[in-house]
Amino acid sequence: MQPMLAITWIELTGATLFGLAIVHTFSTRYFEHLAHTRPRHAGLWHLLGEVETVFGFWAFVLLVFMAAASGWGTASDYLDKSRFVEPMFVFVIMVISASKPILQLVSDAVRKLAVVVPFPAAVAYYFLALSVVPLFGSVVTEPAAMTLAALMLRDVIFSRQASNRLKYLTLGVLFVNVSIGGTLTNFAAPPILMVAAKWGWDTGAVFSMFGWRAIVAVAINALVLTLLFKDELANKARAEVQGAGARTPAAFVMINLAILAGIVATNHQPEMFIGLFLFFLGLAEAYKRHHNRLMLREGLMVAFFLAGLVVLGGQQQWWLQAVLSSLSETTLYYGATALTAITDNAALTYLGSLVSGVSDEFKYALVAGAVSGGGLTVIANAPNPAGFAILRNSFDEHSINPLGLFFAALPPTLVAVFCFRALPPAAMEMFDFQSWLQWFKSLDRVFLFLLILPFVVVIVALWSDLSRARKGRRASHAR
């Protein structure tokens, strides 16, 4: 265990305020209740009940304490040394991903994919929003996947008078699946991005360690929840986007998609992605008819939350790093899963990466635990506040109970724990492209032809049936 350095008053105050912020996070529903029962000070109670303001508020208290104790120069220097790239990126990616052109493109793709899923259209749309879209986060980053999935789920079920039980369980599965769904690549999930360069992890290494396990866990979580609520979903869900209006032209969609791709590619270069974002805002203003209201307020509130987490989290290194370095590999995995519930998982892996001379088992346990517990609370994973902001108005009193979220996210978290801890490495062989390629090369050509032929016949038959069904639907609509 690394020795714990001498603790300063500022570090002790930072840890205390961090604890108060966590307690405040779990108390926001109480303040929202006060806003409705005591209207005389409703504005104050609403402010204290906004989850997105919690960490920003307590970060402001920390800065005031720093300024009073050591002078404004100390507080200013601390802010200058803090990195606010992630809050800026989440704000930008949330606004663009929630725009009408991008949402139309993803919704159309999911709707076409739903045709091959053996559920009614709306139920299939729900299942894919909880499975394919979170996995898509490995390409467009987790904040973008969270924004898209939350908007789709809001329209398909949250705004359809669904039961509270279904809404909380859906939110829990969404948060967990987004947290683990970005682990197919080395740049999309914040906890992996923080350590990938230092530990030399490329996308192939990340997929072999985490990606295939994440696919299994995401599929299980989404499928089980869909089957459990199949009847309610069939009665209430609708596979359509609210307020879609006239469709956005394909050319304009492609321009916005190119801007999104540029922002994802430059996610650690704020000068670049902010410039692209300003260009996006200019286009949105020039072509208002192709946009709905941009989610600027919601995006700024989420960025404020994350910026507060950065300010407060910077004062937690003295105890977090000491705790992580003292744990064994198995204890570290479960410890990281639990600690993620009360601190940002990217900060957790970053602090763990500062421990020198660690084994590969230590690295795997730290990151796997961090992503496994990323759905337990709103502060556990950077994209969670985005989903929280989009969906909270669908709950009673426009507030999400943090304990309700915790218990709803617990079952899918246990599924993730099972997949990341219990699935044997030998199962990875089925995803090893090189092994499959060598096996195919070793086969006799005639045998290989006979092996592939039935699959070709089945694919052609399925394509024919789908084409016939599509033509039948078009004919019925024409009549």
Question: Does residue 53 contact residue 305 with C-beta atoms inside 8 Å?
Answer: yes
Q: What is the distance in angstroms between the CA of the first residue and the CA of the last residue of the chain?
A: 75
Rounded distance between C-alpha atoms, residue 378 and residue 103, angstroms: 23
Inter-CA distances, 233 with 156, 175, 236, 422, Å: 9, 20, 5, 32
Helix (H, G, I), strand (E, B) or coil at 467: helix
The full DSSP string for 242-264 is TT--SPPPHHHHHHHHHHHHHHH
Average pLDDT over residues 132-156: 92
Of the ranges 188-197, 276-285, 361-370, 374-383, which one carries the lowest mean pLDDT score? 188-197
pLDDT of 465 above 80:
no
Angle between helices 317-325 and 345-353 (to 10 degrees): 70
Per-residue model confidence (pLDDT) at position 431:
56
Average pLDDT, the chain: 85
Single-letter amino acid code for the residue at 218 = V
Give the HSE-up count for residue 74: Cα atoms under 13 Å, Cβ half-sphere. Answer: 11
Please tell me which residue, 459 or 63, carries the higher pLDDT value: 63
Beta carbons of 253 and 101 less than 8 angstroms apart: yes
For residue 182, pLDDT over 60 is answered with yes
For the CA atoms of 125, 127, 133, 136, the dihedral, rounded to the nearest 10 degrees, stands at: -120
DSSP symbols for 372-435: HTTTSSTTSSTTHHHHHHHHGGGSGGG---HHHHHHHHHHHHHHHHHHHHTS-GGGGGGG-HHH
Mean pLDDT over residues 183-208, rounded?
88
| pLDDT (average), residues 436-458 | 62
Give the per-residue pLDDT at 29. Answer: 77
DSSP string, 97-136: HTSHHHHHHHHHHHHHHHTTSSS-HHHHHHHHHHHHHHHH
Between 463 and 141, name the one with better pLDDT: 141
- Between 262 and 187, the higher pLDDT residue: 262
Residue 173 phi/psi, 5-degree rounding, is -65, -40
Residue corresponding to tokens 């402010």 = 47
Which pLDDT belongs to residue 450? 58
Q: Which of 121-130, 162-171, 226-235, 469-478 has the lowest mean pLDDT?
A: 469-478
- In this predicted structure, the answer to whether residue 427 has a pLDDT above a threshold of 60 is no
